[in-house]
Amino acid sequence: MVSVLLNTESDILDVLQKDGHIGPRKGENADSTKVIPNWKQRVKAGLLLASSFLFVIYQGSLALSATILLVQFMCYKEILTIGYTINNNPRLPKFRMTVWYFFIVWNYTLIGESLGEQFRTVLHKNLLLSVIFDHSRFKGFCLYFAGIVLFVLSLAGKYDIKRFRLLAIVHVILVVITLPTYLLMKCSLEGMVWAVVPLSSVCLNDIFAYVFGKLMGKTPLILVSPNKTWEGFIGGVVGTIFSTIALSSVLCNFKHFICPTEYNEISEVIGINTNCTPSFPFEPNEYNLVPGLSLKFMPFVLDSFYIALFASFIAPFAGFFASGFKRAFNMKDFSNTIPGHGGIIDRFDCQFLMAIFIYVYMSTFLKTSKFKKLYGRVMNLNDRDQLVFYDLLKSFLEEKHLL
């Protein structure tokens, strides 16, 4: 345990040296520690991330969903690495297979829940996909408890306590990371703007808070994150609100962002239906602000205001939580995957909380009518089931003398 702490301390000193916060150790050549200043690394990495994000959203909702899954995978891997480290890196090859087994089972179940129903027509046309995803909820349930049974049967030896500890960590990760991933994917399939604007608002808040904090920051905000200041926090709030509203006003004019992802039976391709009729949030409405003064804008602009408020006031606390977590284990960053920023989780910790918020917000205030939901379910049935539904409905209406 002492050696682990010493190694951790050594790693932290190395990071501080690279960032320029402390000088070289005794006996080291000062020239060998010269590196690009931290802010330059942050800017370069930030521009690379931003350009990659723009490329992904240009490719469409399926590319965005694939990217979200990739981020989920990398975050899961980073936290698992920490879990192994704090448990003194036990040699548990079978258990390492188990934690990835649970990851695959959870993803399989959530894919079936979130995507299987929406694209049921596609699944029924492909025999292999139909066999895999039919009754995915029940199959996922069986696979999950099969993993629990195998875990119990494998308990033996001095590492049993560590196995239980790591299994608990795995389940926390699955709830905190995997579930929000699929909530965000469901939102993005309704229109990419429902994912792009929330994700962008968190990034914008981080940028404005960093800039204002560096320029004017003097008053510490919270102990677990000593670099955060009130000036940066307030500047982040103001900058995020105005920039998010401006961004949403622009994106609402492009059907690439506001139209849902659907299956085209003619071309047999899943993609954004750019011929869609814009839904209510994207139809201009006139609002009376005060007597004699009215403005005409899309309701989504107002939605983006609430998104910006959450991104400014609540989402940063996911980052503060992550900072407290890292300090509890004497870590500066979750990893060094992104130069100047740290690990994937260091950049996406607030995004998971935002994903939950946007799903709850949409399901609460933007409910689809029961008729549209029923119509959508009927459209997702195969041809045979649609005919059966038609015959049943026709018989029912004839009995009531409505036909």
CA dihedral 119, 124, 128, 133 (to 10 degrees): 50
pLDDT at 189 over 50: yes
Asked whether residue 402 is domain-assigned, the answer is: yes
pLDDT at 23 over 50: no
Backbone angles phi, psi at 273, to 5 degrees: -85, 90
- Name the burial class of residue 94, with classes exposed (0-12), middle (13-18) and buried (19+) by CB atoms within 10 angstroms of its CB: exposed
Asked whether residue 125 is domain-assigned, the answer is: no
Asked whether residue 307 is domain-assigned, the answer is: no
94-121 pLDDT per residue, tens = 777 888 999 999 999 988 877 766 777 7
Q: For the whole prediction, is pTM greater than 0.85?
A: no
Asked whether residue 102 is domain-assigned, the answer is: no
Q: What is the mean pLDDT of residues 205-216?
A: 90
DSSP for 75-139? HHHHHHHHHHHHTT----HHHHHHHHHHHHHHHHHHHIIIIITTTHHHHHHSHHHHHHHTTHHHH
Quickly state the pLDDT bin for 92 (edges 50, 70, 90): low
Quickly state the pLDDT bin for 320 (edges 50, 70, 90): confident
Domain limits for position 397: 369-403
Asked whether residue 373 is domain-assigned, the answer is: yes
24-72 pLDDT per residue, tens = 443 444 343 344 446 777 788 878 888 999 999 999 988 999 999 999 9
Asked whether residue 189 is domain-assigned, the answer is: no
Asked whether residue 381 is domain-assigned, the answer is: yes
Asked whether residue 306 is domain-assigned, the answer is: no
Distance between CA 239 and CA 233 in Å, rounded? Answer: 10
Q: 7 - beta bridge partners?
A: none
Backbone angles phi, psi at 295, to 5 degrees: -130, 150
Total structural domains within the chain: 1
